[in-house]
Amino acid sequence: MAFLAILFCLAALLLPVEPVAAKPTLAQCGSASWYALGTTTASGEPMNPDALTAAHRTLPFGTRVAVTNERNGRKIVVTINDRGPFIKGRIIDLSRAAATALGFRTAGHTRVCLASA
């Protein structure tokens, strides 16, 4: 019995242990704009201007992102379903509904911070 216990301990020491991967955090601030096209998004979904969705250059489709308008403190959660923005200096394009909820629809653009939702 002692032999098995020693064998088990040695095996445990020799087996590689992979660390549990932490959920990646998203922290990015910059300019945001909004769009409301009647087209299909890069994910294949129809663009719905009344949904809380957004376009980002690199985040996987389906990623939920907390967006905070730095100018007024309003915060919402959007789902990435498109690619963009394609204007230098902008980090995210939001749907019309998201821009309305964040309070910058009339202005057209604002400064936001993104975080993992």
Q: Summarize pLDDT for 39-97 with one digit per residue, the tens.
A: 999 999 999 999 999 999 999 999 999 999 999 999 999 999 999 999 999 999 999 99
Q: List the Cα angle 40/107/44 in 5-degree steps.
A: 10
β partners of residue 68: 75, 113
pTM (two decimals): 0.78
For the chain, which residues make up each domain, given as ranges?
Answer: 24-116
Task: Please report how many Cα atoms fall inside a 13 Å half-sphere around the Cα of residue 40, on the Cβ side.
Answer: 4
Superfamily the domain 24-116 falls into: RlpA-like domain (2.40.40.10)
pLDDT tens-digit series, residues 102-117: 999 999 999 999 999 9
